[in-house]
Amino acid sequence: MTRALANLEKLIGHEFADKSLIQMALTHSSVGSKKNYERLEFLGDRVLGLVIAKLLYARFPDEAEGDLARRLAALVQGEFLAAIAKEINLGECISFSEAEAQSGGADNDNILADVFESVIGALYLESGFDKCESLIQKLWGSRLDVMLTPPQHPKTRLQEWAQSKGLPLPKYEISAQTGPDHAPVFEITLSVQGFDSLKAEGKSRQVAEKLAAKLFWDRLKQESKT
């Protein structure tokens, strides 16, 4: 753990003077300690959102609020944060209970995203906003410029498409839930009038619904080619 923490500090460019702060940020609630990552995650989430909002405001001076909001949502979503957490090997630094570790907690996207935000929170408390901004700008890099146009959430796009066709709103229903309580998997059934229903799974209802909407678009695009 000591070596993993040292590597993490090197990657983020900051050696914590208060080791208890970063250790709390890296402690999962399954350990049973009240001093875990959850409060720092709350703080880090707000710091991260403000930093990304500031960067987008400067990077896209002519965009409307709604477009900036869509970019922000895409750049701070859990899957995105988990991908960055994996790039810096955050999973190997997290303290878990034995059961959580054996169930794959170190590879769980939800946990990785949450702990990544807690690290941001810890960094903010020790070094302030400017240090967090420098780190986030470094880790996000060219990702801020990848989207040539503001992304639209698949569910929003599907809803607007259905309305434009005079169809009822798409329906998302939980058709199954599996896995342990600490790491559930949701199966969502998406129904659109006039089309076969389809199913998708995710580690949260929101993730599964988003994937289902994306699968619908992929299928519709494929059918249009035939």
Would you say 73 and 153 are in contact if contact means Cβ atoms under 8 Å apart?
A: yes
Distance CA 25, CA 117 (A): 9
Would you say 168 and 193 are in contact if contact means Cβ atoms under 8 Å apart?
A: yes
Q: Give the pairing of strands 198-202 and 171-178.
A: unpaired
Alpha carbon dihedral 156, 158, 164, 168, in 10-degree steps, equals -100
- The arrangement of strands across the sheet holding 198-202 comes to 171-178, 185-191, 198-202
What does the block give as tokens for 42?
């709350």
Paired with 190 in beta bridges are 172, 198
Catalytic residue positions, numbered: 45, 117
Distance CA 109, CA 85 (A): 9
What does the block give as tokens for 21?
């702060």
What are the contacts of 167-174 at 24+ separation with CB within 8 A? 167/192, 167/193, 167/194, 168/193, 170/213, 170/216, 172/209, 172/212, 174/205
